[in-house]
Amino acid sequence: MAKKEFEDKLNELTELQYKVTQENATERPFTGEYDDFYEKGIYVDIVSGEPLFSSTDKYDAGCGWPSFSRPIQEAMLTEHVDNTLARTRTEVRSSNADSHLGHVFEDGPQELGGLRYCINSAALRFVPLAEMEAQGYADYIQYVE
């Protein structure tokens, strides 16, 4: 993503989307658009559009944020030590736009690999399965079907 394109996209974000992705904010639990949302498709970075998570890997963790057992491709995410609270956590960011997405925890369902990617809805844009090809995500349909 070119610098001008990146800056233009940042200017299109809502205040919450900007605070979450650029200032490491966290949306309030149970308020995000995708917390209780289970349509088929993929979730992409709100800034860059890079594909991050599939609806196939989304589950209800009861934590108040969308939760996924794994990313579509691990290379799409970077992990960083986060010591901002009383305990150490692992922050998750998108690899291309460096957007703050949320955190990954090791308390997910064991049958799904044991990880829980706890992600802010404000950092995501959902692309429905029926629109994936038209929006340039045809290569990722295999992760949903």
- Active-site position among 52, 61, 104, 118: 118
**Distance (Å, whole) CA 104 – CA 115:** 7
> Which residues are CB-contacts of 65 (< 8 A; sequence separation ≥ 6)?
27, 29, 32, 35, 102, 118, 119, 120, 121
Biggest alpha carbon–alpha carbon distance for the chain? 45
Cα 123 from chain centroid (whole Å):
6
Quote the DSSP letter at residue 87. S
**Distance (Å, whole) CA 145 – CA 129:** 8
**Is position 63 annotated as part of the catalytic site?**
no
Q: Pairing state of beta strands 58-59 and 77-82?
A: unpaired
Active site residues: 118
